[in-house]
Amino acid sequence: MNHLAHLRLANPSDEARLGNLLGDFVKGCLANHSDRYSPVILQGIQTHRDIDQFTDRHPVHCRSRQRLQPPYRRLAGIIIDISYDHFLTRNWHHFYANSLDQFIDDIYQLLWRDRDRLPESLQRALPTMIQQNWLGDCRTMAGVDRTFARVARRFKRPTCLATAGQEVMQHYDDLEQDFLDFFPRLMHYAQELQRDM
């Protein structure tokens, strides 16, 4: 899953949400980060990792990845995760009572308030993230394309991400149905993780 889904699946405390976002930025053994992050943030990072593992192994997510043509399969996990954030924005009202815009605004306020606790790379990106509304940008396919372009810049070599939006459009209805099939299962899994904490 991409950032929006991780943030929404997190326990609704500020520190748990920070941890769930930091899961893409904090690498290695979590015990090595205990001097920088609280136990709740570390648990959020672990939850992020558990959600990623559950997602990558789930048959529905595998089915979504297999829908993509071979040139896109090497980066299929990234493509599907970003696409699923798009489908989450489109179907937010099916899963959550609070508004998507309010949720995103709350997250940006949290990140700005606690920016000193973020890794340097995220601190540098944060003003642009907020200004360009990266969390909400996936509402449209144009926004999905922009997200693919941002991710593509992280690679040293050219990738197929520049045209990944076109590939998603080829399978749009099937991918959305996959998401609608998968996300309730992921919500249940995330709730189980929180119960076990």
Where residue 102 falls among pLDDT bands split at 50, 70, 90? very high
**pTM assigned to the model:** 0.93
pLDDT above 90 for 1: no
pLDDT tens per residue across span 6-15 = 999 999 999 9
Domain residue spans of the chain: 3-195
Residue 158 confidence (pLDDT): 87
Quote the percentage of the chain above a pLDDT of 90: 91
Please give the average per-residue pLDDT across 62-83, as a whole number. Answer: 96
pLDDT-based confidence at residue 195 (cuts at 50, 70, 90): confident
* Mean per-residue pLDDT, 148-177: 94
Residue 196 clears pLDDT 80, i.e. is over it = no
Supply the pLDDT for residue 194. 86
The DSSP line for 76-140 is HHHHHHHHHHHHHHHTHHHH-SS-HHHHHHHHHHHHHHTGGGS-HHHHHHHHHHHHTTTTTGGGS
CA 124/CA 121 separation, integer angstroms: 5
**Cβ neighbours, 10 Å, residue 42:** 19
> Once rounded to an integer, what is the mean pLDDT over residues 10-37?
93
Q: What is the pLDDT of residue 47?
A: 96
Q: How far apart are CA 175 and CA 83, in angstroms?
A: 8
